[in-house]
Amino acid sequence: MKVLQLFCAVLLLHHGAYAQTENELAYKAWLDSMQNPNYIMENTLVLDDLYFVHTKENDQFGLVNFNKNNLADTDKTLSCIPGIALIKRGNFGSEPMLRGMGSERYTVTIDGMRLFGACTDKMDPPSSYIEPNNLSTLNYSLGSEDVLNSSGTGGCVNFGLKSPVFNAQDRFSGRAGLKYNSNFNGFDQLLDANVSLAKYALRGSFVHRKAQNYHIGGGEEVPYSQFEKLNYSLSISRLIQGNSLLTLSFLGDDGLNIGYPALAMDVGYAKAKLFGIGYYKAQWGIFKEVETKIYYNAVDHAMDDTKRANVAMHMDMPGSSKTTGAFIKAELPGGIKAKAEYYNNFSKAEMTMYPEGEAPMYLQTWPEVNRQHVGVALDKVTKIAEEINLQTGVRTEWVGSQIGSAIGQQQLSIFQASGGHNAHVLLNANTKVNIQASTKTKLSYRLSYGERMPTISEQYGYFLFNVLDGYDYLGAPGINKEKVVQNELGWQYQHNHIRWEMNIFHYAFWDYILGASNGAIDPITPAASGVKVYSNIDRASSMGGELSIMANLSKKSHVMLSGTYVVGKDHLFHPLPQIPPLKINAQLQQRVKRFLIVPEVNYSHAQLKVSAQFKEQSTAGYVLFNLGVHHSVPIKNGSIDLVAGVENIADTKYRAHSDLGNIMRVGRNFYLNFIWNFKSIRP
Amino acid sequence: MKTLLYLGVFTTLMFSCKKDSDPVLDPDDNLIEIAKSNSVDGLYQIKILSGEALYVGYNTLKVELKKVGSGEVISNASVSLVPMMDMGTMMHSCPIESNLVETSENNKYTFRPTFVMPSTDMASWALNFTAVIGNESTLFKVPIEVKEPEEPKLVMFEDIDNSKKYFIALTEPASPSIGVNDIKVAVYTKKSMMEWPAVDGLSFTIEPWMPSMDHGSPNNVAPVSMGAGLYQGEVNFTMSGEWEIKLEAFENENKIGEAMYTISF
């Protein structure tokens, strides 16, 4: 699976350099132009349909077939990006961190559609509801850079879904795959198919994963770490007059019986349904590339403790999140990209505890909160000189929030807090200078200002237990928006057989949102150490960098190295919690005949900069060794891809610093991945 | 199919109409009849109503008077009440917020006695009303049943030298909910079998507690004296379920006792 990491790293450096038929390429370019403005292309991973080329002439660096790896989960796809780390609560649904910042600080969209998890304990980050099999692109920005996609202080991630493909050659194409993971006796199945007609194209997909408990290094089993999920999608596109496209899409994801060993409860079910209607027109009067979309999604989530032993008191914790939205995006005259969007999110979460022989205890942890967002964004790239261009973007967003339930208002009244209803205006602005300093060197500097809304938990959360520090958290309705100023320097160098890219960043936050201990309030969770109320701390900062180096050792062997480092400090210069330590990945791609052999080393330094306020312990460093072997066999009307490998060869017992609950990660795992690609060629 | 559709529309309309036109609730609508009795002279009938069956603690009674025969409602009488417990060997009364009522509301006279013990086989309660109608005085003797509530609503303690008995009756919250609730208690002492005066000027501390979760709630307001033996404060319930409310009573800064109530909703 680590080949995937390699693949991603390669793509970071060699995006776009893939071989496809002209027809497909043209179509891809068309779609990409809709989804990914060029200037953020460098942060876009193209995940779809890359062809592994065997012939020596084409034996270029990094042309690894992603098809083979489509049974990687979304977590692994994300974790291969320098600057992204994962918070694990078990073996499922990890929460990505962007430069050490959790999901509060960045926004997640799926094909431009906002989707919010329905779990107050962040068991279901939006990324847990999609499968790489359905993704065509993964577009991310570290920091408040991508104003078209989001407002925020930490950046954004957009998962571009695969659209049905119009293909002149293949009327029918698809793939079927199987994967086995030895460590957790996990079986995955995949099936997808694309039908291309003259005016219509249809795509359907299906993924099923089931895993038993995993084993940490040394062989110890982690109870309650099983999971099962189904993911299914169907989309249909209609070409209209050659230059516009109407697409209806549906995506469903049902997680079942998911264990979260780091938490006190598991998940009975986690279900998401996404519906979207999109319309694209290449030219509409003076507007170019007009894209508009209307969407609705519903997430239902229920925590479950019925399978746990020694439950002191049974409780139900269901949550739901519903988002309805629409946006329109276009390129205005003068090369200005513009977007207007609206969405409304409804989030509700409840807790009912059942003490023996007593009345059930009920409260609303998210008191039926409604939020409306109305945003407008503009972005433009201006050429200042032959070697210099300037990208500027600005976004403003109005956000209104209301508590919908009487119980929620009553809960709030206990704290004599006002602000059941309130509104915020957010501003994001950035400017980036790109300088082609020489044929080998490209430099960039970015200055951006960002603001973000407090999350629903931060504003209205009601006694949310945080396993990280053992406190119950209360939202603060009157909390201020968080602000950041980000400075970033980029340096890219390419010469002959070597290429590197380096980013150095600094974020200065104002009104940084963090929990502050409040001794006057009793926690409701019996094991909790106290209550923290979300509050704005004066200042916080974060700095660090990412480095990727890639070198061709020979035509058949390539080396890649990537490192990421970040330090976060609060207003008193104490470390912020859950900051990942220095991480270095090194990979070798060695081609031996028709096989690609990929040994890899993941190094993580110990994290000693821990937050005492969050009762963090230091985390030991670790080194992991992985090995993957790829093989592809062309057959009539398709190919068969085989990937086999071992992760964590030395069976090292380790955990990442950001992981919750002192749970160790997966030990040695052998995997075998089989994919059959098929197509029927038009006569 | 069409019929079904019409039916659907009709039902929708019906339900939406119902929702739109919620009638203003008559507070007397929820009253149940506790007892009915004729006066000793047989000329008048008395009907006693309350929100629930009478219990040990602070009760609110609504009393209706009618003329026997004509059924004429008597709304301008001056009515007084002396509750009486007959234990065979002895008799005693109980605290009452005001034992003389001269005005009626909705043709009902309101009394608020605090029963200090339940009816048993050996001990029975009666409500002795005297109604002055015109210039005539009419007597009613109405036997009633007083039950021990599931959760005690009345706490009795004696002060430190056992010289004085205090009765602390919880009167609110009657319908508790999540959030801020008014808490009211009525405090009386026993002077003699027949004299149960109200006690003003005490001070309280308040602590709500959820025993099964082992936590309290913040920002409660201890009840303060409002006169006539009544004290009012605020109690906060962060969630529904079973709560214990502990009130510590102080007189001149000396603790004289404490009362504990359980509220479950």
pLDDT in tens, A140-167: 888 877 888 877 899 888 888 888 988 7
CA A166/CA A202 separation, integer angstroms: 9
Contact A463, A524 (CB under 8 A): yes
Which of A313, A356, A361 is the best mutation test for B, with the most CBs of B within 10 A?
Answer: A361
Per the CB < 8 Å rule, is A524 touching B219? Answer: no
Share of chain B residues as helix, strand and coil, in percent rounded to the nearest 5: 10, 50, 40
* Residues A79-130: tens digit of each pLDDT: 777 888 888 988 898 899 999 999 999 999 999 999 999 999 999 999 999 8
With a CB cutoff of 8 Å and minimum separation 6, the contacts of A169 are A21, A23, A681, A682
**pLDDT greater than 80 at residue A36:** no
Q: Which helix (H) or strand (E) holds A292?
A: strand A287-304
| Cβ neighbours, 10 Å, residue A433 | 15
CB contact under 8 A, A415 and B218: yes
Percent helix, strand, coil in chain A, to 5, is 10, 55, 35
Please tell me the predicted confidence (pLDDT) of residue A148. 87
ipTM of the complex: 0.83
CA distance B236 to chain A (A): 6
**A572 alpha-carbon distance from chain centroid:** 31
Q: How far apart are CA B16 and CA B9, in angstroms?
A: 10
Q: How far apart are CA B14 and CA B22, in angstroms?
A: 13
Nearest Cβ partner for B177 among A358, A410, A524: A410
Q: How many C-beta atoms surround the C-beta of residue A363 within 10 A? A: 22
Mutate to test the interface with A, among B178, B240, B262 (most CBs of A within 10 A): B178
The pLDDT of residue A683:
59
Q: What per-residue confidence (pLDDT) applies to B38?
A: 94
pLDDT of residue A70: 45
Q: Is pLDDT of A485 > 60? A: yes
> pTM higher than 0.95, yes or no?
no
- Is B262's Cβ below 8 Å from some Cβ in A? no
B263: pLDDT strictly greater than 90: yes
Between the alpha carbon of residue A269 and those of residues A95, A116, A257, A323, A565, the distances in Å are 18, 16, 6, 19, 36
Kindly list the residues from chain B whose CB atom is less than 8 angstroms away from the CB atom of residue A359.
240-242, 264-265
The identity of residue A568, as a single letter, is G
**Segment A615-670, tens digit of pLDDT:** 899 999 999 999 999 888 999 888 998 989 999 999 999 999 999 988 999 999 99
Which residues fall within 8 angstroms of residue A188, CB to CB, at 6 or more apart?
A71, A177, A178, A179, A180, A181, A207, A208, A209, A210
Q: Residue B4, exposed/middle/buried by CB under 10 A (0-12, 13-18, 19+)?
A: exposed
Strand B57-58 to strand A471-474: parallel, antiparallel, or no bridges (unpaired)?
unpaired
The pLDDT value given to residue A101 = 93
Rounded-to-integer distance, Cα B51 and Cα A442, Å: 82
Distance, in Å, from the CA atom of A12 to the CA atom of A81, rounded to the nearest integer, reads 8
* Residue A586 pLDDT > 80: yes
Question: Nearest-CA residue of chain B relative to A524?
Answer: B215
Distance, in angstroms, between B209 CA and closest chain A CA?
10
pLDDT tier at A66, thresholds 50, 70, 90: very low
Among the CATH numbers 2.102.10.10, 3.30.450.20, 2.40.170.20, 1.10.10.10, which is that of A2-220+227-306+314-678? Answer: 2.40.170.20
**Using a CB-CB distance cutoff of 8 angstroms, which residues of chain B are in contact with residue A351?**
239
- Those residues whose C-beta lies under 8 Å from the C-beta of residue A82, and which sit 6 or more positions away, are A9, A12, A546, A547, A548, A562, A563, A564
Enter the tokens of residue B168: 């602390």
Helix (H, G, I), strand (E, B) or coil at A578: coil
What tokens does A4 get?
Answer: 């995937």
Looking up tokens 């990914």 gives A36
Kindly list the residues from chain B whose CB atom is less than 8 angstroms away from the CB atom of residue A363.
178, 238-240
Nearest residue to A343 (alpha-carbon basis) of A503, A113, A542: A113
A522 → closest Cβ in B216, B240, B241: B216
DSSP B238: S
Strands B91-92 and B78-86, by their bridges, are: antiparallel
SS3 state at A174: strand
C-alpha dist (Å) from residue A328 to A80, A274, A324, A620: 31, 18, 14, 48
Instruction: Compute the distance between CA of residue A349 and CA of residue A331 in angstroms, rounded to an integer.
Output: 40
- Pick from B180, B213, B219: which is nearest to A361 by CB? B213
According to DSSP H, which parts of chain B are helical?
A: 2-20
Quote the tokens at residue B85: 């417990």
Exposure letters A604-632 (e unless 16+ CB within 10 A, then b) = bbebebbbebbebeebebbebbbebbbbb
Q: Is a pLDDT exceeding 90 seen at residue A189?
A: yes
Q: Which residue of A has its CA nearest to B207?
A: A522
* Contact (Cβ atoms closer than 8 angstroms) between residue B231 and residue B185: yes
User: Using the beta-carbon criterion (under 8 Å), do B241 and A407 form an inter-chain contact?
Assistant: no
- The pLDDT of residue A645: 92
Give the integer Cα–Cα distance in Å for A405 and A464.
18
Burial (0-12, 13-18, 19+ Cβ within 10 Å), A374? middle
Query: Where residue B106 falls among pLDDT bands split at 50, 70, 90?
Result: confident
Assigned CATH class of B27-144: mainly beta
pLDDT band at A50 (very low <50, low <70, confident <90, very high): very low
Q: Each residue of A237-267: b (16+ CB within 10 Å) or e?
A: beeeeeeebebebebebbbebbbbbbbbbbb
Look at domain B154-264 and name its CATH class: mainly beta
Please report the beta strands in A480-594, taking only residues with DSSP state E, as ranges in sequence order. 482-495, 498-517, 530-554, 557-570, 583-592
Contact assessment for residue A577 and residue A616, using Cβ atoms and an 8 Å cutoff:
yes
Integer angstrom CA distances of residue A194 from A234, A424, A640, A674: 10, 44, 18, 19
Q: What angle do CA A241, A242, A247 make, to 5 degrees?
A: 85
- Which long-range contacts does B132-135 make (Cβ < 8 Å, 24+ apart)? B132/B77, B132/B78, B132/B79, B133/B44, B133/B65, B133/B74, B133/B77
The predicted model gives A202-215 an average pLDDT of: 96
Residue A343 exposure: Cα atoms within 13 Å on the Cβ side = 24
Q: Length of chain A, please?
A: 683
Interface of A to B at Cβ within 8 Å reads: 313, 351, 353, 355, 358-363, 407, 409-416, 463, 520-524, 526
